Homo-oligomer: A and B are copies of this chain.
Amino acid sequence: MLSAHAPSDRGGSGSDDIAADQDRFRAALTDTIEQFLQEQRDVLGAISDESLPLLSSIATLTSGGKRMRALLCYWGWRAAGGSPVAAAPVIAGTALEFFQAAALIHDDVIDRSDTRRGRPSVHRQFSGRHLAAGWHLDAERFGVSAAILAGDLCLAFSEELFTASYADAPGTTARTIFNRMRTEVMAGQYLDLLEEAVGPDQTPVVAEGRALNILRFKSAKYSMERPLMLGGALAGADRDLLEAYSAFALPLGEAFQLRDDVLGVFGDPDVTGKPAGDDLREGKRTFLIARALGSGGSPDRMNALLGDPDLDADAVAELRASIIASGALAQTESLIEQKSAEAFDALMLLPADETSREALHRLAEAAVTRSA
């Protein structure tokens, strides 16, 4: 059974200590992840040492990342009066990290992405293992199959951890939030798939509405609203406080994802680490794209280019120019500003201590102004 590492108390918690609190939390998170993986190594080793690559594939994803969801969970906990040094938000944060890892493993299979954070994606790790060993049958199929199982295992780990997070307290509200979050992400991802498939055969207004709905469920709620609420619920936040969290974090999450969509088209490859116009090659049907297609110009020409994996620099430049000319970029930037303002206004009204509010303010700023 997991005995989580609480952040060690080194005293002090004024608003200047935010960074220190976060560092302690992150360190405790990393320790808990390591310990959990070590325990699972024993469990899997008892089944067969040959099953251990499942675990090491998961570890490639839980060892990095910005820990944004876990940090939101921590500040949701703090803002509801939870102690700076407590195990519950650390374990729940670890559960969120494993859930995210599971989602990434399956996402990469669905998107056929070969890399993740500069390393081979999990299905590529397994197909590479197959090729290196010279095994039989199809290496790619082996890789995909193993990645489906690794993602499933990682989902189960996330659940195991989440349940442990409220072992010492009633976790009904937190449980409901966690359940709902998972359903929203999976439904949102399905809608995203559908959007790609339905593609150009819809009116621009319908496409915009769909894009905003996907963004809300697949991203804004999952990445911002639910983690924050989860931390609050674990600390015993009441309904009103959880609604105040939502009023802040949902528009923030929407602004965050809209920013992501803009970066996917206009981001600087040196900063984002992705090829220029990557989202255009993937044919992502974001709000930005839906708005551009619906704002006159030449939607047929745009539809013909979108989703072409071999799009060259000229075509990327052409699409960018069309999006700018349509006014869609300016309108999306304005929507980001509006959603951000909504979030910051709600944050001012949040009935929480100054430190927590300041910490959330910093997280929010980083989320909407980032360039990568």
Contact = CB atoms under 8 A, between A and B. Distances in A.
A136 B179 contact: no
Contacts of A163: 163, 175
A74 interface: no
B183 A106 contact: no
Interface string A187-203: 11111011011111100
A217 interface: yes
A274 interface: no
Contacts of A130: 197
B137 A190 contact: no
Interface of A: 1, 40, 43-44, 47-48, 50-51, 54, 102, 106, 109-110, 130, 133, 135-137, 142, 145-146, 148-153, 155-156, 159-160, 163, 167, 172, 175-176, 179-180, 182-184, 186-191, 193-194, 196-201, 210, 213, 217, 307
27 contacts: A43-B180, A47-B188, A47-B213, A48-B191, A48-B210, A102-B152, A109-B145, A110-B148, A110-B149, A133-B198, A135-B197, A135-B201, A136-B199, A136-B200, A137-B196, A137-B197, A146-B193, A148-B151, A151-B152, A152-B152, A153-B182, A153-B186, A153-B187, A156-B159, A156-B182, A159-B179, A160-B179
A193 B54 CA distance: 12
A189 B217 CA distance: 31
A54 B199 contact: no
A51 B155 contact: no
A145 B189 CA distance: 10
A184 B47 contact: yes
B186 A54 contact: yes
Nearest to A196: B137
Contacts of A48: 187, 191, 210, 213, 217
A46 to B, nearest CB: 10
Contact of A148 (B106, B191, B194): B106
Contact of A187 (B54, B187, B307): B54
A1 B109 CA distance: 33
Nearest to A155: B155
Contact of A136 (B54, B191, B198): B198
Contacts of A40: 183
Q: Which of A150, A152, A210 has the most CB of B within 10 A?
A: A152
A1 B217 CA distance: 21
Contacts of A151: 148, 152
Nearest to A195: B50
A45 to B, nearest CB: 10
Contacts of A102: 152
Q: Which of A151, A179, A198 has the most CB of B within 10 A?
A: A179
